[in-house]
Amino acid sequence: MPNRRLSCALNLLTALFVSAALGVIGITALLLMGVLSPPEALAPRTVTPLRALVLPSPTPTPTATRTSTPTATPSPTATPTLTFSPSPTQTASATATATATATVTRTPSLTHTASATATATDTSTPSSTPTKTLTATPSFTPTPAFPLVPLRTTFTRFPNREDCAFQGISGIVIGLQQERLTARVGIQVQVTGKNFARRAALGSDPAYGWLIQVGERPRRAAYRVQLLSREDVILSPAVTVQFDGRCERNLAQVDFMQVRPF
């Protein structure tokens, strides 16, 4: 019996909630369709636009300018004349003559004298110009690292082989007095390359000064040439000689010159 009452109460409460929901849905639908007007609290407010503040434009103030006007001064002149002539007869005659003459003369006087006197004064200011004094600074000439330096390298054809079966390097050394150095100075020429190393004494060849054969035929190859003393002291930088494999350039002439004693 109590369960039945509880069930009835729950059913009644459910019916109330369903009715309230249906009412809210109906009122919302009528508001959206425009049938009902929304309450004043929910109506949108109308915003009044602000008026722009209009400032009066500034009025220019007139400025009075004084202008000088020449004036004319009249000079009035009056000359009255009175004449009386008595007569001895019984007839008295009186004649009065009055003459008035007025002369007005307008003489405008406007005198403007402009006087400008310009005096030019030339004032010269002596200028002092400093005199540069050149001082000679002794120059320092560094001592060359080697007493012998490369002079030139040229390529020709070796004339002693008509079949061009030769490739070699030769050269001479020029001394301080532009003389050709000989074997007595004791200079050794060293030629090195790939799997190649050979020396020759300066003056060992009468025609070329020194001559070292590096191949049986012309071919592309590079070699280094350097001068040494009898004690194997290096006397010159190494010079690289590059052969191009042509018969017309199978002999390289490498010359050196002396720049200081050794």
| pLDDT at res. 136 | 55
Number of domains in the chain: 1
* Residue 234 located in a structural domain: yes
| pLDDT at res. 6 | 85
Domain span holding position 239 = 148-258
Would you list the DSSP string of 98-139?
----EE--EEE--------------------PPPP---PPPP
* Residue 208 located in a structural domain: yes
Chunk the chain into consecutive blocks of 10 residues (it has 262) and report each block's average pLDDT, rounded to whole numbers: 79 90 87 73 55 50 48 46 44 40 45 44 51 58 87 94 90 96 94 96 94 96 97 96 96 97 91
What is the Cα–Cα distance from 197 to 191, expressed in whole angstroms? 6
Whether residue 188 contacts residue 201, with contact meaning beta carbons closer than 8 Å, is answered with: yes
* Residue 164 located in a structural domain: yes
* Residue 108 located in a structural domain: no
| pLDDT at res. 194 | 94
* Residue 161 located in a structural domain: yes
Contacts of 37 (CB under 8 A, 6+ apart): none
* Residue 90 located in a structural domain: no
| pLDDT at res. 62 | 46
* Residue 210 located in a structural domain: yes
* Residue 176 located in a structural domain: yes
What is the Cα–Cα distance from 151 to 139, expressed in whole angstroms? 25
Helix (H), strand (E) at residue 188 = strand 188-193
* Domain CATH for 244: 2.60.40.10
pTM of model > 0.95: no
